[in-house]
Amino acid sequence: MRVITGIARGRRLIAPEGFDVRPTADKVKEGIFSAVQFQLEDAYVLDLFAGSGQMGIEALSRGAKRAVFVDSSAKSLKCVAENLKNTGLRDLAEVISRDSYDYIRSTAKTFDIIILDPPYRAGHIQKLLPLAEKKLSQSGCIICEYEKEAGEPEAPEGTVLRKIYQYGKINVAIFVRPSDEEDDE
């Protein structure tokens, strides 16, 4: 696992051992960041269920201004901290040890990019989407990685589905606020 491009390009990342964390494959990560490349510059990013932190770190490497990494696992947070140190991106990050639901409900912050990559087979995406929508900036997007067999998540009120990308057994849905052009159609 590595940072694909940007200021930390090629830096190796570590992930917690075991089956609790499922790192995003490079092919999927590249697809996600190609889809949101024009939204990354100076973006404020939330990496919920951060795991190794690779998604938020990739965003920072590609020009995001700041990233918040949230996870309740001490093993995961240790990897996030180590990865931030090794990539030289620590000063652009905030690492929070907290339940993801509790954080998204209680934070007063808004984000330009919210990354939802929770454990599969637990129905987290559909429960988190309405909470994430409330913390999304006007021009922001929510990125959801989920198992194809889980079915397509419904767009939370106040957003529309931009597109679903398919990578074998993994799907990625991107939700955005409707633009004026979409409202006129």
Sketch out the chain's domains with CATH numbers. Answer: 26-184 (3.40.50.150)
Could you give the CA distance from residue 156 to residue 160 in angstroms, rounded to a whole number? 8
Q: What is the mean pLDDT of each run of 10 residues along the chain (185 residues)?
A: 91 79 79 92 96 95 97 94 97 97 97 92 87 95 91 92 92 88 43
Could you give the CA distance from residue 40 to residue 7 in angstroms, rounded to a whole number? 13
Question: What local confidence, expressed as pLDDT, does residue 184 receive?
Answer: 39
Question: What local confidence, expressed as pLDDT, does residue 183 receive?
Answer: 43
Question: What local confidence, expressed as pLDDT, does residue 41 receive?
Answer: 94
DSSP state of 62: T
Question: What local confidence, expressed as pLDDT, does residue 179 receive?
Answer: 76
| pTM of the complete model beyond 0.85 | yes
